[in-house]
Amino acid sequence: MDNYQNTNKARRYKAHVSILGTTQIHLRNPWTIAMWSVAFPGFGHFLLNKYLRGFTLFFWEIFINQMANINQAIVYSFAGDFEAAKQVLDTRMILMYLPVYLFAIWDSYRTAVDLNNLYWLAKKEDAKFNSFSIGNLEINYLDKRDPIMAVLWSMTIPSSGQLYIHRIILAAFTLFWTAIFVYYSHLLEAGIYLINGDLVRSNAVLNAQWLLYMPTFYFFTIYDSYVSTVENNKLFEDEQRSFLKRHYQQYRLNLKKTGKVDHMQIFATFEHSIYLESAISELEEHGIKNILAIPLNNREEERKLFDNVHQSDGVSLISKAMILAFLFSTMGAAKGFSWEWGPIIWGLIGAGIGVIIGLGIDLVMKKVIKKKQRLLRGKNSEVILIIECEDHQSKDVISILRERLAFGIAELKPE
């Protein structure tokens, strides 16, 4: 059951909430999408919520890579053994691989551009969509979650971040393939040997063909969970803003001091959150009907480095960091088979170097080159709530507002 059934009369919708997840159209950098397709065909399409196309390209990549031994050839190439790389490759499969690989890059870029254009049209049309879905197996609803928490869960095991933000389809898919990659690469077994100081056995037990999938796969799940959390938070705010304008802006009050004020007027400020709607609902249960909600357009300020549950603009320092992390960690793991410390340690070192370089590039762009502006989205007032009530109701009103985490409360008493 959904809290709203689309009439399908609108031409375009910004989002759809179902028990399997929240699908939405939002602005994306086409070059970032294309780079994830370069890293692994299908990943760019997953970011665009194009699951069927993404699954097709992902399975094709695994099938061809395994048949042609591409990852093993990469390891030999980084070790400088080009003859071995030539011997291990199946040239028949390589010729089948390249056209699909290039198509994945081109199509993800093209689709990102198209969806950006559709986003502006959908935003202008502003068609209503459901924000709550409940079924026999699951419940999904728009809410605000912490992007940093999504990253931390994704760092423990791929798919945890997707489960945290209710991307059920991608979470199940990534969890299944995490088990496959870890099992066949012998990554955990090698990690145990490494922890116990047996570097030789750790390197020997690893399967290079399966191991090289892991860096790209791991950092993609981190990036996807972070970006999806940020965009879901923004969608929640937009939906709540529209709800308040539709239902709580019919009331008009007179603030002029020329005459006598007959009722108590209480002012409160909130950020966009579920607590705001809870406060309004509880006030209405107490018989208070004169409620005015005014969403604010906050002033512009230099954008923040990192997003969190209270502030998110989707352009913080993670895109380049994650892309370079998978690139350098893959290179480190491939080269590590011929270096003393082995592929695990060099893969981790490569990941760290990639993150540092990515953060450094974004920091320079922020501080020196672009100094992009963004909307202030810190823990600041985003909605003004004005309640008119009888004098004897004021204590209950103020108590409700405080319990629901109002930032500030003011009273205008009757004269």
The Cα 33–Cα 292 span in angstroms is 42
Collapsing DSSP to helix, strand or coil, 384 comes out as strand
Could you identify the residue written with the tokens 């003393």? 340
Q: Could you identify the residue written with the tokens 């500030």? A: 408
The confidence score (pLDDT) of residue 175 equals: 93
Q: Are strands 264-270 and 15-18 parallel, antiparallel or unpaired?
A: unpaired
Torsion from C-alpha of 329, 330, 332, 336, nearest 10 degrees: 130
CA 229, CA 378: separation in Å to the nearest integer? 16
DSSP state letter for 362: H
Strand partners, 16: 23
Rounded Cα gap, residues 213 and 320, in angstroms: 19
pLDDT confidence of residue 78: 75
pLDDT of residue 9: 73
Q: What is the pLDDT of residue 371?
A: 47
β-pair type (300-302, 132-134):
unpaired
Comparing CA positions, the residue from 218, 208, 182 lying closest to residue 333 is 208
Helix/strand/coil for 389: strand
Would you tell me how many other CB atoms lie within 10 Å of the CB of residue 28?
21
Residues ≥6 apart with Cβ < 8 Å to 19: 133, 134, 135, 137, 138, 139, 140, 168
Q: How far apart are CA 58 and CA 40, in angstroms?
A: 7
Task: Give the residue from 240, 47, 15 showing the smallest Cα distance to 125.
Answer: 15
What is the C-alpha separation between 280 and 294, in angstroms, rounded? 13
| Other beta carbons less than 10 A from residue 69's beta carbon | 20
Write out the two tokens for 11. 């031409």
The answer to whether 317 touches 365, Cβ cutoff 8 Å, is no
For the entire predicted model, the pTM comes to 0.75
Q: Given the structure tokens 């728009």, which residue do they identify?
A: 142
Answer whether 383's CB lies under 8 Å from 258's CB: no
CA distance 276 to 75: 55
| Phi and psi torsions of 408, nearest 5° | -150, 150
Taking alpha carbons only, the member of 171, 147, 220 closest to residue 21 is 171
CA separation for the pair 263, 251 (Å, rounded): 14
Residue 229 corresponds to which amino acid?
A: T
How does pLDDT run along the chain (415 residues), one tens digit per residue?
A: 666 666 667 788 888 888 998 999 988 888 889 889 988 999 999 999 999 999 999 999 999 888 888 888 888 777 777 788 778 877 777 777 888 888 998 999 999 999 998 998 888 888 888 888 888 888 998 888 888 888 888 888 888 999 999 999 999 999 999 999 999 988 888 888 777 777 778 778 888 889 888 888 988 998 999 999 999 998 998 888 888 888 887 665 555 544 555 678 888 888 888 888 888 888 888 888 888 888 887 655 444 444 444 343 444 455 666 666 656 666 666 565 655 655 556 566 766 776 677 667 666 656 555 544 444 444 566 888 888 888 888 888 888 888 888 888 888 776 6
Burial class (CB in 10 A: 0-12, 13-18, 19+), 340: exposed
Furthest-apart CA atoms within the chain: distance in Å: 94
Q: What is the pLDDT of residue 323?
A: 64
Q: How far is Cα 65 from Cα 187, in angstroms, rounded to an integer?
A: 19
- In angstroms, the CA 328 to CA 67 distance is 25
**Is 328 exposed, middle or buried, given 0-12, 13-18 or 19+ CB atoms closer than 10 A?**
buried
